Amino acid sequence: MNPQDIAIFTGNANSQLAVKTARHLGLELGHARVARFADGKPDIRILEDVRGRDVYIIQPDGPPPMWYMELEQLIASAKRSASRVTVIIPYFSSGRGDRRDESGKAIPAAVDAKKYAALGVDRIVLFELHAEQIVGMFEAAGVEHIDSLYFRPIVLDHLSRHDLSNAIFSPPDVGRMAVVRSLWRKARAMGFPVELGLIDKDGTSSSGIQGMTVLGDFEGRHAHLFDDIFGSTETAVMASRAALDRGALDVTLWVAHAVFPDRDTPEIRRAAFERLANSPIKCVNVSDSLPLSETEREVLGDKLQELSASMLFAMAIKRLHEPRSGHRLSSLFELDGYREGLKEFQATT
């Protein structure tokens, strides 16, 4: 890949993910100043010539709101002279606001989709959305080229290295059941005799989750729980205990986005990590779509397993930058296409 034709930039949100993605492609991260003025506003300047180049910007857009502000200005700076600007958003922070559940409320995902449309980005690539209808919100807002990648092929690639002869798949909450059912079907198609279960909250109140309903044969099986987002971690921990109470041998957790309580509330955030660390969960598998600090990694210790999305993003960039290569972006939606992409990169390194 010719560095004269392509450039990859990022802000301060998750620079390590962008660095790893660039290096998979044999590139260095583009030079940009991403600082702040005295009043806290972002001070952004691209420090290299991008005239006529294919520019990719990799950045989760929150939380906190500053990450979106950095992304917005990086887009505006690149569009002044780049031939094309593609934004890869590892975590779309308004994803959980995909519907109006009370009168008098906006739909945050739709509001933010309109913001991106107004920026005039050539293409947006999202990763593991909370709800698939969000893609339609971007299209309705006027974003002509919008794609969504999935955590699924990364998870299946790693799952295939586990002993799944005595396993059961379940969500920790009914809202993720459709995704887990899809993973279960694909695992069965790969020849693994995996069972399907369901764990769901009985209800919540100011004092927390009231209890858990468990369906399925967990007795004597290795339980794998799948979710897209961490919050307080209370649901994941209670679901794991419910699985063990029903006879599961152990519990492994798979989560796409490490969305923990706000960094502005460090005590609450640390409590969420400690809740996971002290829980009976055997292993916590999470993507690097959002950054974790060294201290947070130390709290989780050996329980933490980070599954990088950087190779998936590198494959996406290669397919978008070289559309005549014969490989479609949609091939990365499934395990076979992801593994074929891994072979491509291994052959060039």
Q: Which residues are catalytic?
A: 201
CA distance 146 to 66: 23
Going by C-alpha positions, the residue among 221, 289, 223, 279 that lies closest to residue 255 is: 289
